[in-house]
Structure 1
Amino acid sequence: MRFLPALAGLTLALACGAALAQEVAFPGLRTDTGAQVEVTADSLSVHQADGAAVFTGNVLIVQGPMRLKADRVEVEYGADRSKIAKLHASGGVTVVSGKDAAEAREAVYEVAAGAVELTGDVLLTQGPNVLSGQHMTIDLKTGTGRMDGRVRTILQPGETR
């Protein structure tokens, strides 16, 4: 009979862990999505016909406290071509803000919506905690997100006093 309470406790712990592994708070990744976007890179190619811009080599995008690094970033402008609509990043993508950091193969940042979508071997670190999966979306306005695709998490227990 001692087996039943232990099994119930284990089931509850696994259910709670699964919920934490999918819906995650990213307080460090909250940023002012209306702030200016600064882009630096080794080179820039601009195509006047469609207004496309491609930054390559050590690309760094800064918006408020958020930093996005990648090997290559394509800039997609809005219909009026005066504002950036999306940034398509590829190759060693890293998003850092505060103590939160995320890595992936690719990322798409929808500037007006304040949404970042990371795909391909996504790894998130929040202090000592680690979360991995294949796809992650982050809402920069609210600092919340979701991880999908065979999610794995390593949570460090807090100190007890």
Structure 2
Amino acid sequence: MTLSPRALGVALVLAMAAPGIARAQGAEVAFGGLRADTSLPVEVTADVLSVNQTDGAATFSGNVLVVQGEMRLSADRVEVIYGNAERSRIERLHASGRVTLVSGKDAAEAADAVYTIESGAVEMTGDVLLTQGASTIAGERLVVDLTSGTGKMEGRVKTILQPGGN
């Protein structure tokens, strides 16, 4: 999966200090840079916006970029899910296709992501990848709390850590 030009050169977070290779079913990790102020407005830009007038469903497609403060989420497609019948409050965003989450210097890549705005939770699934310098961590599911900057990687987690590398 290729990072968007905006995310190229961005260091991906991994807060583990042990050198070597580790394999596990799940790993608790700290993502200090993957934080966001969930009270800020959410700005979405895309090539196309499709709105279903019957149910109010909104789908952004083509070079989608979601911005909230310093947090950036890019994807091929983002569906807006509303939290009430009046569609006045966005509950969550479902991103699919080449998803990249960037906040500050930290980033993560996956095939799919659901961002629950009020709680600040992002669940990324499908070939999730995080790196920091020469160190990497991969798995099938990553849940990040953007408010606290913590997360959990699950699903045959594999990490390669470089001694002395950050």
Q: TM-score, normalised by structure 2?
A: 0.81
Q: Where does residue 143 of structure 2 map in the other structure?
A: 137
TM-score, length of structure 1 as denominator length: 0.84
Partner of 2:155: 149
CA contact (8 A) 1:100 1:127 kept: no
Aligned to 2:104: 98
Query: 1:49-88 counterparts in 2 under 5 A?
Result: 49-79=54-84, 80-88=86-94
Residue in structure 2 matched with residue 120 of structure 1 by the alignment? 126
Kept in 2, the 8 Å contact 1:122–1:133? The answer is: yes
- Aligned length in residues: 145
1: CA distance between counterparts of 2:38 and 2:71?
A: 10
**Structure 2, unaligned stretches of length 5 or more?**
1-17
Name the Cα RMSD after superposition. Answer: 2.0
Structure 1: runs of 5 or more not aligned? 1-12
Shift in Å at residue 126 of structure 1? 2.9
Choose between structure 1 and 2: higher helix proportion. Answer: 1
Q: Greater share of strand residues, 1 or 2?
A: 2
**Higher radius of gyration, 1 or 2:** 1
Query: 1:6-63 CA deviation, whole Å, 9 max, x = no partner?
Result: xxxxxxx79xx568x7011111111101111000000000112212100000000011
Deviations 1:71-114 (A, max 9, x none): 00000011141111010000000001122111000000000110
Counterpart of 2:29 (choices 12, 17, 24) is 24
SS of the residue aligned with 2:33? helix
